[in-house]
A and B are shown apart, each in its own frame.
Chain A
């Protein structure tokens, strides 16, 4: 990866952003969505399990 040159820029309509920044924003969206969607492993005997079991 060439890091001593200016970054490439994506320019689509109003969107004007460098590729590295676009990657970071994309990562934020992907990780946040995954954190909401993926099930969290539950420890046996946890308060969460007690809550689910009433």
Chain B
């Protein structure tokens, strides 16, 4: 039996509803645009991309470190090299994330329905701080022991020590190599999708006609 719009019944159900929702909210030309508005011609818009590139670098080097273990990354030359790649990748990740944050703050990029994009970005930043903290605790050297011993009192005083024990290496390492990277990657994907749905925010003085993303 066909519906009034000559569409068959197979176009019903939650899968069809999700598909139609995606088609309405995020058409492919918005998801993968080939052109951007005129105001995107600025290096300030590159900060976010560099942050994502650094995240890819950090995850890739982290996978290698996790595969070979602490003895390898401390004692072998190749391991120390990958350890450094991971460390400096994190430095670049945070440096450009802060630059991206400063640039978007002065652009007031939460305007015109982009508050969720801004909030997801802020949450990503705080989760990244936790990821970096658990990373310092996972080094397996005196530095990580020193940080853990000093941090435990603050966390215990806040009550977080009941479920977040910085002296528990297994817990910190598990958080660092699985849960935190999964959370950050998921949040970044949501962040990018929100940017694609709403389009890049126009500068405050730009004409309103240039609000949306790619030419449509």
Contact = CB atoms under 8 A, between A and B. Distances in A.
B47 A35 contact: yes
Contacts of B41: 40, 42, 46, 48
Contacts of A2: none
B43 A38 contact: yes
A47 B47 CA distance: 21
Nearest to A40: B41
A52 interface: yes
Contacts of B95: 24, 27-28, 31
Given A34-B43, A35-B43, A48-B39, 16 more contacts: A4-B143, A28-B99, A31-B95, A31-B99, A32-B44, A32-B102, A35-B42, A35-B46, A35-B99, A40-B41, A46-B35, A46-B41, A48-B38, A48-B40, A48-B41, A50-B38
A36 interface: yes
A47 to B, nearest CB: 5
Contacts of B98: 28
B46 A28 contact: no
Interface in A1-54: 4, 24, 27-28, 31-32, 34-36, 38, 40, 42, 46-52
B44 A35 contact: yes
